[in-house]
Every structure is written in structure tokens, then in C-alpha cells.
Amino acid sequence: MLLLAHRGASADAPENTLAAFQEAVTQGADGVELDAMVCGSGEVVVCHDEHLERLAGLPWEVRTTSWWKLKGADVGSRLGFAPARIPLLEEVLDALPAHFLVNIELKCDHFDDGGLAAKVARLVSERRLAERVIISSFNPVCLLRTAAAAPSLRRGFLIDPDKRWGPQAHGLVPLVSSHSVHPYYEQCTPERVEAWRERGLRVAVWTVDDARRARALKEMGVSYLITNRPRAVREALR
């Protein structure tokens, strides 16, 4: 089971920043999970929230705010860390070591993704990173657009625990997932994991910091464990 640092090692550094991704490397993670969205001037930025109130105390909406303005926001201090800024996806990909797995979650709740799927697919393809990138999303349309832009990219559908299980697990996963399925950890049972594996899908579970839970998921056959604390979970699994 590979450990992916959730938004970087976000328990010990400001989430989705270069500091958090470097901390994931330091803590011995196998890779990272990150959030990608298009900002107002068209660049792909790494950020989870649609608005910056929680991260920076600012009322800005990411998808309508230009990059030159976004990069001035401090998204570290309000989380209890040193000041930090929102990075571009290309900056993160360039900063990570060559062996790192990268789970890029496409963040878009709208039908029009502003070119997000195509831009991410092009960036990953241009950098020849397809063998170590997984594209995931709660939005099935984003994954269909990814498939159209770059059919060989590995795709995984994120199952929303607040929506009905059946249509997602039995309808959307077979339709849009080529590599993996990404359930919330409480949705995992040995029977479900085995069924996914029999269909050739890897299971990427989010977000687990508890050692006992991590061991149970490993025994089920989960392939990727997304965690805020990669070092602590690694030590517990040993």
C-alpha cells in the first residue's frame, strides 16, 4: 500500500503549498494528493477551496481572480504555519522528485470546467508524467474530458459519501474510471475492495490518519492510502 500525502503533508505544513509537498518528501511519502483548479486568468493553480476565506481571510473566488493577485495571498498564516502562497500546478510538478506518484484532483463543481481537464492533461503529457500521475475528480464530466484529451492518462472517480452509493459505485465508476476508485475510508469493506480489484481497479482511500484504520485498510487490499501524516502512518504500519 502506497502512502499519498493529502494536500502534501498538511498536518505539518500549509496545505497544497510547496512547503507541504516538500514536507511529504521529507516524511517519506510515496506521493502526494493535490487539488487543481483554473483561476481567473486561465492558469491551473493548486488550491482546494473555491473561495479564500478559510485559507487567507480573503473574499476572493479563485476561478474569477487572476494569478497575479492570487499569488499575493498568504495561505499559511491562518492555518498556523509560516506565510505561504498558492502555487501553480506546473511549479509543483517541477518541484517533486522523479519517483513520486501524483494524484491530481480536478476541482470543479460546474459543467463548464474552464478548460481544467484539457489543461491538466496537456501539462502532464508535455512533461511525460503519465506513468506516475492519477487524475481524480468528483465530477464525472471532468474525467470524460480528461479521457478525450489524453486517453492514456489514468483516471479515478471520487465517490461522494453525501450522495447515493449505487449510482456512483455501479454507474459512474465503470463509466469514467480507467485505473482506480477513490472512496471515503468509511465506505470500504473487504467485499467492496475485492470486487473493485477483481474488475482491475485500484482503491485509493481518503483521508486516514489513524494507525488501526490504516492497518485494516491495508489488509483489505487498498492500493493507495491518502493521509495528512505520512510519517506517522508509515511508522505505525511497520
Which listed residue (6, 99, 170, 179) is catalytic? 6
Distance of CA 138 to the CA centre of its chain: 11
List the grid coordinates of 131: 506513468
Given a contact cutoff of 8 angstroms between Cβ atoms, the answer to whether 37 and 67 are in contact is no
Which listed residue (48, 99, 110, 170) is catalytic? 48
Per the annotation, the verdict on 48 as an active-site residue is yes
What region, left, alpha or beta, does residue 104 occupy, with left being phi > 0 and alpha being psi -120 to 50 degrees? beta
List the grid coordinates of 105: 484532483
Per the annotation, the verdict on 110 as an active-site residue is no
Given a contact cutoff of 8 angstroms between Cβ atoms, the answer to whether 176 and 143 are in contact is yes
Helix (H, G, I), strand (E, B) or coil at 5: strand
Distance of CA 131 to the CA centre of its chain: 16
Q: Cα(53)–Cα(59) distance, rounded to whole angstroms? A: 6
Active site residues: 6, 48
